[in-house]
Each structure stands twice: as C-alpha cells, then as structure tokens.
Amino acid sequence: MVKKSFEAALARLEQITEELAGGDQSLESSLKKFDEGIKLAGFCHEQLNAARAKIEILLEKDGKLEGNPFEGPESGHNELFK
C-alpha cells in the first residue's frame, strides 16, 4: 500500500463504503473494493493505536502513567478494535 495519511485512508474507506452500498458493482469489483477497504481499515487502526500510544506518553507524569484514558466523542467505536 502506498504510504497514506490517516485522513486520506479514511476518506477512501468512506468512498469505498458508499460505492459498495450502492450495489452497482460486479461481484469481482465488489470483492476487490472490499479487500482494499479491509487493508485501509487495518491501516487506520494502526494509526489510531500509534496516536493512542503518543497520548499515553504525553499524559505520563512523574514517571507514572495517569489513569486518564482518552475518551473522545466517538469512544464507543473503539470497542471494535480492542
């Protein structure tokens, strides 16, 4: 996969989702797009994990990690990746 930003990968994943939801694709085309979407989702997951690790480092105080996990407005979606 070509090196992408999280934002570009997410935008492409949204585009693929819309195309697949439209139902106008052949089976072969749908499978290729689904495969691409799975790879993009994995890439986004890795990027989010890296960001989470950086946040934990930034929250570290006095050599101890504070028990303040980041909970953004979409924190309920994180359950998919635990």
pLDDT in tens, 21-76: 998 999 999 999 999 999 999 999 999 999 998 888 877 766 666 655 555 545 44
Domain for residue 51, yes or no? yes
Q: What are phi and psi of 70, to 5 degrees?
A: -75, 125
Domain for residue 73, yes or no? no
What is the extent of the structural domain holding 54? 26-60
Domain for residue 76, yes or no? no
Q: Number of folded domains in the chain?
A: 1
Q: Is the pTM of this model over 0.85?
A: no
The residue type of 54 is K
Output the CA torsion sign for 11, 12, 17, 20: positive
How many whole angstroms separate alpha carbon 9 and alpha carbon 41?
8
Domain for residue 32, yes or no? yes
Which residues are CB-neighbours of 70 under 8 A, at least 6 positions away? 52, 55
